[in-house]
Every structure is written in structure tokens, then in C-alpha cells.
Amino acid sequence: MDTSSLIHAEQLYRYYGDHCAVKAVSFELSKGEVLGFLGPNGAGKSTTMQMLTGNLAPSAGRVQVGGIDLLDNPTSAKRQLGYLPEQPPLYRDLTVDEYLTYCARLHRLARRRIKEAIRRAKQRCGLESEGGRLIGNLSKGYQQRVGIAQAILHNPSVVILDEPTVGLDPIQIREIRTLIRELGEEHGIILSTHILPEVQGTCTHVQIINRGQLVFADSIEGLETHLHSQHLIVVFRNPPALEALKMLPDVVDVQVLADNRVRLKYSGENPAAAIAEEAVTRGWGLMELVPERRTLEQIFIELTCQDHSAANSIEEAA
Amino acid sequence: MIGTIAAREFKALFLSPMAWSILAVVQLIIAYLFLAQLDTYMLLAPRLAGIGAAPGVTDVVVAPVLGNAAVILLLIAPLITMRVLSEERRARTLSLLLSAPISMTEIVIGKYLGIVMFFLVLLGMLALMPLALLVGTDLDLGKLASGLLGLTLLLGAFAAAGLFMSSLTEQPTVAAVSSFGLLLLLWIVDWAGNSGTEGSGVLAYLSMLRHFESLLKGIFNSTDVAYYLLFIFTFVVLTIQRMDRDRLPH
């Protein structure tokens, strides 16, 4: 077992009665990684996260946290975990300081370290001035921050956040994203979200889960290559005949769109340079030459829509 | 770790007006009963003086007051225990405990001890009333201690049953009603026992009242103490099992 991996999940299954919510999910998380967990509602994101944090026991499979088996030795494995569930587990009748002190004790922090740990967590989550306020009186965004503060309080090596930016305003979302990137440098982070740009902005790795199964798992760099769609959009002032375009090197298909726009499908190397040269020598009057990129959203929809015709029609429309 | 959870539970009770009002109401009712009982004793005292082995003030005042207190606490206990686990479920705060490095056993025992600490406060306040008699007269301290021990064990049993009922549901009121039902049933189950039919001995043995009554009379019988300890143990273990069942696949 490689001890540098913080989370090692192996063939996780979870059944609710006959319904299989998570099926054969395996993955690794190493230090310095921020893993974005994507999936439609009910795909098994939360169930997976609950299994990683010991809130649910898997029907089959193993989870290791920092090399310690979560099922055989839950207390020492959980010491390395910080978890923010979908609904932050807050006691509304406590003040922020009281609540965080209680959390620190639950995580068995030494008494003399509690104060410092709370000060640090509050400062990281922008709660310095809210320490004496009742959690029940805080706004949703601040409650979410208290939830995050609770998850990072004991400086765990793995932080698991289930939709941490829900209900926050755009400024808070930016702050939380910065915080997550910062935390990602020294911890391992798993983050689930519906907001796709958030993944591209904060994560180093992406996983898409659909109907309980992982359908995509790659690093952000790997994702970039998936985003290139091998299409170019070209606009000419004096459009040439379609045949002339088809003769260009590497171009395999030409489609005419509205307003003199032409969509070229190529195979192999990007032929943009050749097209530009050709356009200049033949006087086509090149006005635009743009590589068409797929968005993460399109990949997400393709992977998660089981109905292929629906996925295709969305792609055509795009 | 158990202590942390118990302390939080104990403090949480006092954060709402519930605990305060319960303490006040119980104190008021029992103080009234105590005074009424004391009045009766004053009337009887001259006649009792003539009899050789007459019942003393402990028998006439303290034992009935503690007996009545048990019935009142039977009504009150479900209100204290109802939210102990169901509220955590409802507010979804249970995951905080579940993802912390604590076992389910520690969580449940911590919760249980938190309630018991509250009941001990209640009991301490009740005990002050009979103890106040020490100023003017002599008490049979052995009998008083045995009665208080009985009440403590009884409250421990109420807490365990209430804890279990609270683990079954998300609704505190449902937990309160069902634990009240369970306690009352176990209280009166020996009414059938008096009929002398077959199996009535078992029913009488199950009754919480029977075991309490002998302690109240000052008869310390290890069977009675064992009954309460087994009762508490059983319901705490059932609660741990019930809470763990949510986590495990089925």
C-alpha cells in the first residue's frame, strides 16, 4: 500500500434495499490534489462522500485514509478527516466560538491547542468578528463558512466538502475557492459541486459519476485535451467553393453555417496555419479563424445523458 | 470524549427554557405534596406518640413524597429525553459526531450520561426538602438514602428507555409519546400480576413500581438494584444497535 496516497477507495458498493446507489467506485487522492466530484442529482456523490467519512458503511469495498483502514480502525482513520456535509451540521443554539470549541474537543485536540486552532480556522474562513454570535442568527453564507471552519479546524490531511459554495454570494464564492486552492497545497481535498466552472477554476483532478458509476476520471490537463473538438470555425469575405476548402490538408469535412461561417472538421494536426496561408495567396479575405472548443458542460452532458440521441442533438445545437 | 458529549448535552438542556421550566414545575408540585404530607403528620403525631413501634416522620412524610415524585417524574422524563437523539437526526447534526473520531458507543453513552446529570440535579433539589426536616427532627437516614437510591435508579431507567425511543424517530414528540407509553406500561404491568393468574409473577417482576417500592420501604435488595442496572444496560445497548443500523447496509 502506497502511504503517500491520502485516500484509497477500492471497489465501493452501496445498496439501499435493491437500489444500487454506488457501484464499483475506485479512486486515489494524493497530497496536493483537489479532486472535483461532479454528477447529476442522485448520482451517488453524497453517498460516496458519506462512505469516505464513515457516515455510511459500504456494502462492499475498502476505504483507506492515509494508509489506515476506515472500517477496521475508524477512530484513527477519522482523525485525519474533515468533512462538511451537504447540510452543515451546526447547532443553532451555540455561538460560533462555543461550537468550534465543541468540534475541537470531539476531534481530540489538546486543550492548549484549541484556542489557536479556532483562531486560525476563523481567520481562514473570514469569521474573526463573528465569534460571539449565535449560529442560528447568522446568514446562510456565514453558516456555510462555519461549516467549512469546522471541517478544517483540526488540520486534517483530507478535507471533504459536499457542495461548499451553495448559497454563497459571488464574492464569498471567490473567497472560498481561493481558500480551497490554498488548502489544496498542503492537504488533499475532495469537493463535490454542480457548478462546472468551479471545477476548472479550483481542481487539479476531475471525476464524473453517473448512476453510481465513475464515467470520467482525469486530471485537469487531461480534461483540456478532451475539450479540443477538432473543429475550426472560419469566416471569409470572399468565400471560396466548398470543394476548394475540402482540398486543404487534413480537412475531412466542411459544413456551411449562417453568415458566411464555415465549420471545418480536421483530423490530426490543427491546419489553421495552412488555411491562413492559403486564404492570403488566393485572396479569400480571411476574417476569423477560431478553434471550436467544447465546454466541460458538454462533456458532462454527453457522459451523464444515457439517452445518446439527446446528447447528440445538444451537441449539434451548440 | 464521553465527558465532552455529556457536558454538551447537559448544557444544551439549559439553553432552552424547557429544562428551567421543568425544574421549576417539578419543584413546585413536590413542595406542595411535601407540605401536605407534613400537615398530615402534624395531625397524626399526638396519636402516634402513644404507640410503641409507630411509624416515624421518615415513613409518614419522606416515603410518600418520594413515591409521588416518582410518578411525576414518569410524566416529565419523556420531555427531557425526547430530543436527545431525534433532534440530532432532524437538524442533520449527527454527521458531525459520526465523522469525528468517536465510536457510536461513546456517543450514546455520552448522551445518556448528559441526561442522567440533569436528572441528578433534579433529584438533588428534591432531596433538599426531606433533608430540611433535619433542622427540627431526626430522620431515618438509612431509609432516606435507600429511597433516594431507588429514585436515582428509577430515573436512570427512565433516561435509558427515553434515549432508546428518541433513537427510533426524527420527531421529538413521537419519541416523547412512545417513551411515556412504554414507561407507563412498565409501571402498571403488575396490576395484572395481582390477579394471581399464571405468569403473573413474571409481570410483577417486570414492573418498575414493585422494585421501587421495596427500596422506598428501606429494604435494600440486590435483585431490585440488578433489575434497574439490567434495564439501563439493555436500553443503552439497544440504542447503540439502533444508531449503528443507520450506517450499515441492509
Residues of B in contact with A87 (CB under 8 A): 92
| Interface confidence (ipTM) of the complex | 0.87
List pLDDT tens digits, range A241-298: 777 777 777 777 888 877 778 888 887 777 788 888 888 888 888 888 888 777 777 7
Whether residue A315 has pLDDT greater than 60: no
- Domain at A5-224, CATH homologous superfamily: P-loop containing nucleotide triphosphate hydrolases (3.40.50.300)
Unique residue bearing C-alpha cell 443503552: B236
Residues of A in contact with B248 (CB under 8 A): 57
Pair A248, A232: CB distance under 8 Å? no
Q: Å from A9 to nearest chain B CA?
A: 17
Contact B4 A54 (CB under 8 A): no
Reported as a pLDDT band with limits 50, 70 and 90, residue B220 is confident
| Counts for chain A of helices (H) and strands (E), in that order | 12, 14
Residues of B in contact with A107 (CB under 8 A): 100-101
For residue A50, the number of C-alpha atoms closer than 13 Å in the C-beta half-sphere is: 25
Distances (CA, A) of A8 to A65, A114, A307, B81: 7, 30, 32, 40
> Which among B102, B247, B250 has the least Cβ separation from residue A106?
B102
Tell me the C-alpha distance between A203 and A170, whole Å: 18
Mean pLDDT of A35-55: 88
Whether residue A236 has pLDDT greater than 70: yes
**Domain spans in chain A, listed from the N-terminal domain onward:** 5-224, 225-293
Which H or E element spans position A162?
strand A158-162
Model pLDDT, residue B235:
96
A157 touching B, CB under 8 A?
A: no
Tell me the C-alpha distance between A38 and A210, whole Å: 9
- Which residue in chain B has the smallest CA separation from A100? B96
Residues 6+ positions from A303 with CB-CB distance below 8 Å: A208, A210, A215, A216
Model pLDDT, residue A88:
92
Domain A225-293 belongs to what architecture? 2-Layer Sandwich (3.30)
How many other CB atoms are there within 10 angstroms of residue A62's CB atom? Answer: 15
List pLDDT tens digits, range A89-144: 999 999 999 999 999 999 999 989 999 999 999 998 888 898 899 999 998 888 98
Pair A196, A296: CB distance under 8 Å? yes
Of the candidates B91, B140, B87, B76, the one whose C-alpha atom is nearest the C-alpha of residue B111 is B87
Contact A89 B103 (CB under 8 A): no
Which H or E element spans position A7?
strand A5-16
List pLDDT tens digits, range A63-73: 999 889 998 89
A143 touching B, CB under 8 A?
A: no
Contact A57 B247 (CB under 8 A): yes
- Which residue in chain A has the smallest CA separation from B101? A75
Model pLDDT, residue B200:
67
Residues of A in contact with B15 (CB under 8 A): 93-94
Reported as a pLDDT band with limits 50, 70 and 90, residue A309 is very low
Please state, rounded to an integer, the average pLDDT across all residues of chain A.
Answer: 84
Mean pLDDT of A209-216: 85
DSSP A217: E
Tell me the C-alpha distance between A149 and A103, whole Å: 10
Model pLDDT, residue B196:
60
